[in-house]
Structure 1
Amino acid sequence: MRLISINVLKTGMVIGRTIWNEAGLPLIQNDVVVTEGLISRLKQLGIQYVYIEDKISEGIEVEETVPFAVRKKAVRQITDAFHKLKGLDNKAASLVIEKQTKEIGKLVDELLSSIINSKEILMILSDTLLYDEYIYQHSFQVTLYSLAIAIEMGYSENDLRTIGMGAILHDVGKMVTPAEVLFKPGRLTKEEFEMMKQHARSGFDILRNLHTVSLLVAHCAFQHHERMDGSGYPRALVDYEIHPYAKIIAVADVFDAVTSNRVYREKMIPSQGIAIIEAGRGTMFDANVVDALKKSVVHYPNGTILVLGDGRRGIVAKQNAQNSALPCLRIFEENNQLLKTTYLLNLIEEPNVSIEKVDTEFILEVE
């Protein structure tokens, strides 16, 4: 299967991967033949990319590192825990979260096990469609990215558990943010943004009173919007004032935000998200954390078409554990001509061949 833009999806194409909603229910099944009605529905849902099955991508598998069943269970658990906080003040919210920490800790262990036991670089395929549920999927995905980064950086098992707990709960303060601000589809006013920024402090106030988790978990919530150069909030901390765990979650938070579907902008593919983070390396974001992100997550998911500097076009067939930025491609086009026989090109073995661009709008003439 391969990834294409909704802009070039045509009737007669075949959906390659089931599209799910945040509740874990299938909206569009794989193997469904595309119709005009289906295209309209996908656009209404805000979907930018879909996977299709076709000749050049035959046999290419696209699977998330964490099985979908685990994702569904985890997001539901996060959703249930956070829903109980709505309408409560910080003190009451603390008491509710206190009762949840044992189960959240088990969830962190399960996610950690999934990542460590996987032989693949971390790949997350965000299928969130309902924007008012974004916070729960986001908390789940930030946890996966944070754990992958921390593993790459060599943190101990105990550290990983604390980082995982901090990542799951980093946005808990949003549960006491006014809904009209939290879910506003357009740009926030200055006053509304100031209200939104308070979620970091609210999260700290909720979590610092817990007796069952480290105080560092509260600092993850407090500091995940701080930036190395002092441009963050709520306290404009600089490099040495920010806890290393919060530096990890800050990178994971932004990376997931730009690579997920949002009502007010289109999602980016992972390589574009990494470029955004890379632009802030050493200024906004800790350089070591950025480097760990680049090593631990997939840049170009399987099924993505790449155009090379020499004009060849290929589809990502598998990942390279040695360098996630240089996958193995199935080359199917040279000099604007489709090849009768494709061949595999390992970009690690071709240092002089560059990636020119990602092409999600390529259409086979036979389609």
Structure 2
Amino acid sequence: MLRLVPVPMLQQGMKIGKKIYSDEGVVLLAEGVELTSLLISRLQKLDIGYIYVEDHLTEGIDIPEMLREETRRQALQNIRVNFQRLSEASPITGGYHHLGKQFSKVMESILADVSSQEDCMIMLMDMNTADHYLYKHSLNVCVYSLVLGIASGYTQDQLMVLGLGSLLHDIGKTQIPQKVLFKPQKLDDEEFRLMQAHAQIGFKILKDEPNIPLLAAHCAFQHHERINGSGYPRGIKGDDIHEYAQWVALADSYDAMTSHRVYRPAMLPHQAAEVLYGGAGTLYDQKKLELFRDKVAIYPPGLSVKLSTGETGVVSKIHAHMPHRPVIRILQDPEGAPLQAPYEVDLSQSLSVIIDGVLGD
């Protein structure tokens, strides 16, 4: 019953299909709210690229939630409170900030939610806005990293370390000036050096914190390193980059590209995935990128697509074993005429048919 629609294509009378959250995890717009011109204008000002709407033509298409609402709310509040506290302090001068105690309990809830999903996949999380991007980004990267860790066969203890490291990977940005973090133009050389410093600052904040494992601190330190040595802050290569940090690097890059930023709009999942695939064997480990490819829903449920047959429709179901070949509910014939009786095509079975484009792309 849901369809993913670009905000510029929203029309009055459409109904919200999936909750839209604030940075504190509070629901800004609930399911079923009918869009007015005022609400559409507000969504545009929030710089959200796409939202889910209800649609009778897509009845029965459900969007899996990767986290329970209570877990999401508690996690975002926890991140916001602690990151704001660090922003107002000078944590790198020394002293403990009890981050392990603050984040361990919420990390257990996040891990329980993600682990409970059958055939868990990387789905679109919140439609991130430019405002308060850091909080939602931190949570999304954590969830995506856990999906990859679970697919890698990690133990619960390993997943807790990966989860904490990914949740706190950008904690160093609490010490970067806001005018640099949210500058809409290209950073100058000095600003770029300041931004790059967040990785080392994050490591300094986390490495001596009680109950924060050192490997979690290295996720903050190494998530911008690349296997060909082109990353920062140390330019290390290959297996010198810990595998946890390599998973966080993939999750971080993917979520950054699929989120609205002050300097560019959000990409759709298939667009972001193509950029990542272009870095196979140079920026990212080939095998890790292949596992990522197998776990990400590049065509999420509700996405409007055009097939090589000329027909258009909506993604209705994802196959865990073949996420890039979903089931499509056909809504229009090749001439663009609406079908009286929509039907479904399973691309995992109809191998001669491909997705030729994404509507609103």
> Shorter-chain-normalised TM-score: which range?
over 0.9
Task: Give the AA of the match of 2:192.
Answer: F
Q: Which moved more, 1:103-112 or 1:242-251?
A: 103-112
Q: Which moved more, 1:55-64 or 1:290-299?
A: 55-64
Q: Whole-Å Cα distance in 2 between the matches of residues 135 and 28 of structure 1?
A: 21
> Deviation string for 1:22-64 (max 9, x for gaps)?
2233333333333322222221221221222233222322232
Task: Give the AA of the match of 2:165.
Answer: G
TM-score scaled by length of structure 1 = 0.92
Confirm whether residue 358 of structure 1 aligns to residue 339 of structure 2. no
> Deviation string for 1:135-190 (max 9, x for gaps)?
11111110011111111122222221111111111111111222222232322111
Task: Give the AA of the match of 1:342.
Answer: P
Q: Which moved more, 1:227-236 or 1:329-338?
A: 329-338
Task: Specify the alignment match of 1:38 in structure 2.
Answer: 39
Q: Whole-Å Cα distance in 1 between the matches of residues 35 and 223 of structure 2?
A: 41
Task: Specify the alignment match of 1:253 in structure 2.
Answer: 252
Q: Whole-Å Cα distance in 2 between the matches of residues 86 and 34 of structure 1?
A: 37
Pairwise CA distance, 1:132 = 4.0
Pairwise CA distance, 1:305 = 1.2
**Cα separation, partners in 2 of 1:211 and 1:33, compared to 1, 3 Å:** closer
**Cα separation, partners in 2 of 1:26 and 1:115, compared to 1, 3 Å:** closer
> Deviation string for 1:207-247 (max 9, x for gaps)?
12224232111211111001111111111111132111111
Task: Specify the alignment match of 2:110 in structure 1.
Answer: 111
Q: Whole-Å Cα distance in 2 between the matches of residues 179 and 9 of structure 1?
A: 32
**Cα separation, partners in 2 of 1:48 and 1:83, compared to 1, 3 Å:** same
CA contact (8 A) 2:305 2:315 kept: yes
Aligned residues: 358
Confirm whether residue 13 of structure 1 aligns to residue 21 of structure 2. no
Pairwise CA distance, 1:272 = 1.4
Work out the percentage of aligned pairs sharing the same amino acid. Answer: 37
Task: Specify the alignment match of 2:231 in structure 1.
Answer: 232
Task: Specify the alignment match of 2:328 in structure 1.
Answer: 329
Q: Any idea what SS the aligned residue of 1:72 has?
A: helix
Pairwise CA distance, 1:93 = 6.1
Q: Whole-Å Cα distance in 1 between the matches of residues 350 and 33 of structure 2?
A: 38
Task: Specify the alignment match of 2:146 in structure 1.
Answer: 147
Task: Specify the alignment match of 1:123 in structure 2.
Answer: 123
Q: Any idea what SS the aligned residue of 2:23 has?
A: coil
* Superposition map of 1:283-294 within 5 A: 283-294=282-293
CA contact (8 A) 1:320 1:327 kept: yes
* Superposition map of 1:205-220 within 5 A: 205-220=204-219
**Cα separation, partners in 2 of 1:37 and 1:132, compared to 1, 3 Å:** closer
Confirm whether residue 165 of structure 1 aligns to residue 164 of structure 2. yes
Pairwise CA distance, 1:95 = 0.5
Q: Whole-Å Cα distance in 2 between the matches of residues 124 and 327 of structure 1?
A: 15
Q: Any idea what SS the aligned residue of 2:284 has?
A: coil
Q: Whole-Å Cα distance in 1 between the matches of residues 94 and 85 of structure 2?
A: 8
Task: Give the AA of the match of 1:32.
Answer: V
Q: Whole-Å Cα distance in 2 between the matches of residues 69 and 164 of structure 1?
A: 18
Pairwise CA distance, 1:128 = 3.1
Q: Whole-Å Cα distance in 2 between the matches of residues 18 and 155 of structure 1?
A: 32
CA contact (8 A) 2:24 2:80 kept: no
